[in-house]
Amino acid sequence: MELIITPEGSVRCVYHEAIDLSVLGRLKITRASHVEPDVRGGWGADLSPVGGPLLGPFPLRSDALAAEQAWLEANWLNRGTG
């Protein structure tokens, strides 16, 4: 789990249950995307909540989740830092 700590002291990450984030202080958790089935039975990752694209369709939900995480780590996680 990658944690980005800004110069202001806030922490940004793609949420996982790997660690208890509440130990870092008050949490503000917001949705970055939606992984949903489509009408044909495929899966898409809608990253519009963070200004991203719609990824997919993927045959498996796990494929959509992996693409979602990869996109967030490459395009959103470090945005506005460094």
Per-residue pLDDT tens over the stretch 60-82: 999 999 999 999 999 999 876 54
Question: Is 82 within the bounds of a domain?
Answer: no
pTM, entire model = 0.83
AA identity, residue 52: G
CA 1 to chain centre: 12
- Which residue range is the domain that position 16 belongs to? 3-76
Per-residue pLDDT tens over the stretch 9-58: 888 899 888 899 999 889 988 899 999 999 999 999 999 999 999 999 99
What SS3 class is residue 22? helix
Question: Is 81 within the bounds of a domain?
Answer: no
**Cα–Cα distance measured from residue 4 to residue 37, given in angstroms and rounded to the nearest whole number:** 31
**Cα–Cα distance measured from residue 72 to residue 12, given in angstroms and rounded to the nearest whole number:** 11
Number of structural domains, the chain?
1
Sign of CA dihedral 53, 54, 57, 58: positive
